[in-house]
Amino acid sequence: MMGHIFDISSARLFESWYHSPQGKAMDELINGSILGLLNPQRGERVLDIGCGEGNHLLFLGSLGLDINGIDASPYMISRARERLGDRCTLKTGMAEDLPFDDNEFDLAVFINTLEFLDDPLQALREAGRVAKRKVFIGTMNSLSWHCLSRKSMGFFRKSIFKHVRFYNIWELKSYMQMAYGDVPISWRCAPVGSSILGRMDKLFIERWNIQHCPFGSFLGLSAKILYRQKTEQHPLKVSLKKAGQSIARGVTMKKINRVKRDHRDERSVSI
C-alpha cells in the first residue's frame, strides 16, 4: 500500500510547496527531464502514477499525449477530475497493484511519488508491467543540500517532507535494475533555482557534467523496457526409440500396392 495517502491537510502542504519558488524551479526541471529522457511522441498513452491534483498531467497533455492518472487518495483524484474533466482517465488505486492490463500504456511516470511509497520496488515492477516503452522517475536527491534542508524542516515544523523518503542516484538505479533487469537507464541531475541552497548544490556540480553530477537537487531517470524470454533446457530421461514409418509414407505405399494389385487383376481378366 502507499506509505502516505494525502488528505486535505497534506494536500494543502504539498500545494503550498509546489507553488513556492523552489517548487516552481523543481517543476521546470521535471518538465525538461520528461522531454529529454522520455522523448514522448504525440498520441502515446502515458500513466502518471501518484498523479495528485493533476499538475503534471496538464503538462503531459500539452505534449499531445493520451493522459491517464492514478492516485491512492480519493481527495486528490476528485481535485484532479475537477481540473481536467474528461480530458483524462483517472482512477483511485495503489501504485503497488495497478488496475490495468499488461502493456496498456506506452509510458509510466513517477513524479514526486516514489518518495511516499512503502514498497517502491513493487511499484516499479507494476509500472514496468503496464508500460511497454519507458518508465520515468522524477524525485528530489537525498545527497543535495536542498533536500537535507527540506527534510530537517519536518522535525521542527509542520511540513509535507516529514513523510518523505529521499533517494540518491545509486539507490534508484539499483531499484530499476532489480525491477527490470539489465536495461538501458538514462539520468540527469541538476540544482534547483538560484537560492542559497541551490548555489550550495551548484558548488558540487561545477566540476562535473551538470546532467550527471550526483549531488544536484533534482534527479530524473528513465528505463527502457526490454522484453526477454528465457527458456530452460531439461535433459531427456527416457531413450528415444527408432522412429517408425511415417503416416504419410504408410498411406502412400498402401495406395501404390493397391494400384499394382488392380493392374494384375486387369491383366488376368484380359488373358
Strands (E), 18-72: 45-49, 66-71
Dist CA 125 CA 253 (whole Å): 59
Does 206 fall in a domain? Answer: yes
For residue 155, the model assigns a pLDDT of: 41
Dist CA 47 CA 40 (whole Å): 12
> Lowest-pLDDT range, 92-96, 99-103, 122-126, 143-147?
143-147
Does 156 fall in a domain? Answer: yes
Predicted structure pTM score: 0.73
Nearest to 22 by CA among 137, 149, 164, 156: 149
Higher pLDDT, residue 196 or 100: 100
Does 270 fall in a domain? Answer: no
Of all residues in the chain, the percent with pLDDT exceeding 70 is: 67
Does 267 fall in a domain? Answer: no
Q: Write out pLDDT tens, residues 156-206.
A: 345 556 667 889 999 999 999 999 999 999 998 877 654 444 444 444 444
Report DSSP state, residue 37. I
Does 38 fall in a domain? Answer: yes
Q: Write out pLDDT tens, residues 189-201.
A: 877 654 444 444 4
Average confidence (pLDDT) over 237-255:
55
Report how many domains make up the chain.
1
Q: Which domain holds residue 79?
A: 8-224
Dist CA 247 CA 236 (whole Å): 25
Does 58 fall in a domain? Answer: yes
Does 14 fall in a domain? Answer: yes
The three cell numbers locating residue 144:
543535495
What is the separation of C-alpha 251 from the centre of its chain, rounded to a whole number of angstroms? Answer: 57
Of all residues in the chain, the percent with pLDDT exceeding 90 is: 48
| CATH number where 93 lies | 3.40.50.150
Does 19 fall in a domain? Answer: yes
Helix (H) or strand (E) holding 167: none
